[in-house]
Chain A
């Protein structure tokens, strides 16, 4: 059986940048489907989608874990900006 190797850079991105829920199985599914004659552009599209989904999950996790800190940071920065503006900016 001849094994078709998927695009090397896309496979590297998938291996190193996509993490989280069942990422190993996702990589296996993409490899298996690629053997059925899918094109390299299909593989690239799937990897790009996986990267976006993974990044969105990470951002959501980060926000849910540090919600209070993020809100405090925004409030603090806004307060600091308003104080600076009222002190140094003359009409």
Chain B
């Protein structure tokens, strides 16, 4: 449902009158905020999300995720980068975390375990399907490099 401020943009998109200028600007910021909220997954975020979504990743934590990415033919990823990606994914609501018990072999520190949310599984599925469709139609990928 449109608010009065949103309606102003629809009815008078190019006529910025003095009285309504502040409303139009407010509207612009509102649209920018909506655009900012619909963020796409970055490459590392997608790799991390796929590593968390895997059925074998029941107790996924930093090291296991980094090993999964490296073991799948990906590159070596710094653990801090994995955690930064996990933070963004948790903020977007795609994973949830829980703290385990402190362990002696970790210097008394606890592990943080990550699980995908239904929204995270949906996002991973949709992004994966889109990439498969795109790569299926990209005939240049299978040939010799130019």
Residues of A within 8 A of B (CB): 1, 18, 20-22, 24-33, 35, 45-46, 49-50, 52-54, 57
Smallest CB separation, A21 vs chain B (Å): 4
Residues of B within 8 A of A45 (CB): 78
> Given the complex of chains A and B, what is the CA–CA distance between A3 and B105 in angstroms?
8
> Given the complex of chains A and B, what is the CA–CA distance between A57 and B83 in angstroms?
12
Chain B residue at minimum C-beta to C-beta distance from A20? B87
Q: A22-B112, A24-B110, A53-B84 are in contact. Are A30 and B79 (CB under 8 A)?
A: yes
Contact between chains at A25 and B84 (CB < 8 Å)? no
Contact between chains at A28 and B110 (CB < 8 Å)? yes
Interface size class of B (residues with CB under 8 A): 20 to 34
Central interface residue in B63, B86, B103, B109, by most chain A CB within 10 Å: B109
Interface residues of B in 93-119 (CB under 8 A from A): 97, 99, 103, 105-112
- Residue interface mask B99-142, A partner, CB < 8 A = 1: 10001011111111000000000000000000000000000000
Residues of A within 8 A of B107 (CB): 27-28, 31-32
User: Which 10 residue pairs of A and B lie closest in terms of their CB atoms, listed nearest first?
Assistant: A28-B109, A50-B80, A28-B106, A25-B112, A49-B78, A31-B107, A29-B62, A21-B87, A53-B80, A32-B106
> Given the complex of chains A and B, what is the CA–CA distance between A54 and B80 in angstroms?
9
> Given the complex of chains A and B, what is the CA–CA distance between A30 and B63 in angstroms?
8
> Given the complex of chains A and B, what is the CA–CA distance between A20 and B79 in angstroms?
14
Query: Per DSSP, are chain A's interface residues mostly helix, strand or loop, or mixed?
Result: helix
Contact between chains at B83 and A26 (CB < 8 Å)? yes
Contact between chains at B83 and A31 (CB < 8 Å)? no
Smallest CB separation, B105 vs chain A (Å): 6
Contact between chains at B105 and A22 (CB < 8 Å)? no
Which of B62, B97, B103 is the one whose CB lies under 8 Å from A26?
B62
Q: Does B24 contact A (CB under 8 A)?
A: no
Central interface residue in B63, B79, B87, B105, by most chain A CB within 10 Å: B79
Contact between chains at A46 and B78 (CB < 8 Å)? yes
Contact between chains at A49 and B110 (CB < 8 Å)? no
Contact between chains at B61 and A49 (CB < 8 Å)? no
Q: A29-B62, A29-B79 are in contact. Are A35 and B84 (CB under 8 A)?
A: no
